[in-house]
Structure 1
Amino acid sequence: MPRNGLSTASIPRPDQSGVPGAVIRFYQRSFPAVDYLALGCIVGGWVLIQLFATPFHRLFSLDNKAIQYPFAVVERVSVVWSVVYAGIIPFLTLLLWAVMFRPNRYKVQVTILGFLVALMLTTLLTDIIKNAVGRPRPDLISRCIPKKGTPENKLITWTVCTQTSQHILQEGWRSFPSGHSSFSFSGLGYLSFFLSGQMRVFRPRTDLCRCLVALVPFLCALLIAISRLDDYRHDVYDVTCGSILGTVIAYFSYRRYYPSLRSVGCDMPHDGITSPEGFYKLPGDEEQQIQRPAVPSRQWGAEDEVYQLSETSSPPRRL
């Protein structure tokens, strides 16, 4: 029996008969293949938004100083470079790690999968919120180029704009949250969480160099987010919310495959071994300490107490 007093017999088993049982067995045996299917759905949803979604156009006034900033033709960090900094470079870093340290195939698979899920899920949610909120950018009036004679002290609609480029015009109502900020903190944030786990930065008396290396991706993401303020594409509110969104999703995606950074086995993913009761996690995971049946556990120098009962043992003698 496991040391915590729980046995596999005490865990309720799902019904393994019929169609529900077949579905459960397929899910258990195909993990993480099901996650690839979900990732494909996320990518498909993002493509549909790019093709068909238009933002909600909030009313605005020409005397609103918050949207009178100039339109920056050349951005400090363009969309292409944000993909390079927060997508391609972290991806190549993970591949380099795999080549250098040669982990097992499952670890490489879930690490790359978690990274892709973090990026695409953040991008999808960001675009959904952008189009639903329709918040004007700080450079909206410069984008709009309103008609002459448009009143300055009353609310007006987007139909007064004379901008010929629909892309530039429609992007003027996609300010909240910052896409650069959320994307950079999801990709680089995931890389930072991964490096923290592999180097065990929360282990007692860990050297400062490891901590600094793990914080470098977060610093790069912060600089990308700040560049959006310098270009007057977003305000502090947009950048802050986008950064929080990207960080939360990055941590969510990382924790789906890896234990807590304070766990003993934080550098190893949940092993993904299935049983009739579901998935086992690493013994060091803080959520559950249920050990595998018939596998002894020795942690923190603890001694296992073994008691054997014999069917032929003699009764105690009376004195």
Structure 2
Amino acid sequence: MSQLKASISRYFEDSFEWFDRSYIADWLIVGILWFLTTAVKASPVYERGFDINDPTISYPQREDQVSAFFNNMTALFVPSIVVSVIGFMQRSLMVIHHGAIGICATRGLTELTTEMLKHSVGRLRPDFLSRCAWDKVLGQCTGHLSLIINGRKSFPSGHSSTAFSGMVFLSLTIAGQTAAWCFSIPKTPRKVRSSRMLTFFLALLPLFWATHVAVTRLQDHRHHKEDVIVGSFIGIVCAVLCYLIFWPNPFSLASFHYEVFGKPRWIYKETGYVSTRATDFDLEGVAH
């Protein structure tokens, strides 16, 4: 066991010296967010009345272009895998930890906010009447109960909030490692990775997927446009907040180590762009 620990310590530069007891409280809070989300999902949905002649809820029911399972897995695991790869390349368990807790916090906060609104508002989906299968004789819905209940969860769009929460966090992570959104930072000449358009495009790439997911919710008649807009906004806000809790601002020059003609200017670590929780490094030790 001691040999394994020594081997890990040799590979990872910071080993476990970075770990702070406050992270236990952080993980506890993240766990509470996920638990509360599960509890809200089990609670009843507000049942608002409807008009069977309402054209806004009379669209046909279609199959999802992007399934909920695939969307959730993509939003959670793709950013986690990318951060893990970055951490191994930098030989930093701290980067892996901060990435993991950051994305888990993002997903937990996003899901809790989305589900609370869904169950409180009870807005009907555009395809609600197809789910309802209204019977004029009985004067009630005769469709499958689970479909009817789900048909009352239009606002906000869970697919949109999920996709944007995961992909915005991933975009911020990429920007935090490449300085893609810090336009004032000097770039080392004669290196491909110094291409501003390349890093900028890489940082934006995840947002194209999130936008695609949001658009499919309109095409599939699962949501009204307001549902998608608000859901996307929730995902973006939660991702930005949870990212900035553990990582410095990717738009700020002070967040990066860079070189100009081989001469270091701002130094937080010896090599590469480094983004890490602001309280984990000494700003007074920055060299100019």
Global fold match (TM > 0.5): yes
Q: Distance in 2 between matches of 1:75 and 1:176?
A: 17
Determine helix, strand or coil for the equivalent of 1:176: coil
- The reply on whether 1:37 has 2:44 as its aligned counterpart is no
| SS of residue in 1 equivalent to 2:96 | helix
AA matched with 1:88? F
Q: Quick check: 1:94–1:112 contact (8 Å CA) kept in 2?
A: yes
Which of the residues 169, 188, 196 maps onto 1:207? 196
Name the structure 2 match of 1:223.
Answer: 212
Unaligned runs of 5+ in 1: 1-27, 151-158, 274-280, 284-290, 300-319
State the match for 1:69 in structure 2. 59
Query: Is 1:270–1:282's contact at 8 Å kept on the other side of the alignment?
Result: no
Alpha-carbon deviations, 1:261-296, whole Å to 9, x = none?
2222253212545xxxxxxx652xxxxxxx3xxx5x
- 1:138: how far off? 0.3
Residue in 2 that maps onto 1:189: 168
> How far apart are the structure 2 equivalents of 1:80 and 1:112?
20
In the alignment, what sits opposite 1:249? 238
Q: CA deviation at 1:258?
A: 1.2
Further displaced range: 202-211 or 36-45: 202-211
> Superposition pairs for residues 2-81 of structure 1, below 5 Å?
30-51=21-42, 53-72=43-62, 74-81=63-70
Which structure 2 residues correspond to residues 71-150 of structure 1 after superposition, within 5 A?
A: 71-72=61-62, 74-102=63-91, 104-149=92-137
3-state SS of 1:135 partner = coil
TM-score, normalization by structure 2 = 0.79
Structure 2 counterpart of 1:4: none
Counterparts of 1:236 and 1:86, CA distance in 2: 21
**Identity across matched positions, percent:** 28
**1: distance between equivalents of 2:105 and 2:86?**
19
CA distance in 1 between partners of 2:137 and 2:109 (Å): 44
Matched with 1:288 is: none
2:124 touches 2:151 (CA, 8 Å); kept in 1? yes
Query: Structure 2 stretches of 5 or more lacking a match?
Result: 1-18, 187-194, 257-273
Gap change, CA 1:208 and 1:94, over 3 Å in 2: same
What letter matches 1:166 in structure 2?
L
Distance 1:97 1:143 in 2: 45
* 2:276 maps to 1:269: yes
Deviation at 1:95, TM superposition (A): 2.0
Are the counterparts in 1 of residues 217 and 228 from structure 2 also a CA contact under 8 Å?
yes
- Select 2:150's aligned residue among 155, 163, 171: 171
CA displacement at 1:37 relative to structure 2: 0.4
Contact map agreement 1:86 1:221 (CA 8 A) in 2: no
Relative to structure 1, the CA distance from residue 93 to residue 270 in structure 2 (aligned partners, 3 Å threshold; closer, same or farther) is closer
2:58/2:130 contact within 8 Å kept: yes
Distance 1:190 1:282, change over 3 A: farther
Matched with 1:239 is 228
Q: Secondary structure at the match of 2:134?
A: coil
Structure 1 stretch displaced more, 39-48 or 79-88: 79-88
**1:143-186 Cα shifts (integer Å, max 9, x gaps):** 10111247xxxxxxxx81111x2221101110000000001100
* SS in structure 1 at match of 2:215: helix
> Which residue identity lines up with residue 57 of structure 2 in the other structure?
I
Compare CA radii of gyration and give the structure with the larger one: 1
Q: Do the aligned partners of 2:84 and 2:99 also contact (CA within 8 Å) in 1?
A: no
**Counterpart residue identity of residue 46, structure 1:** T
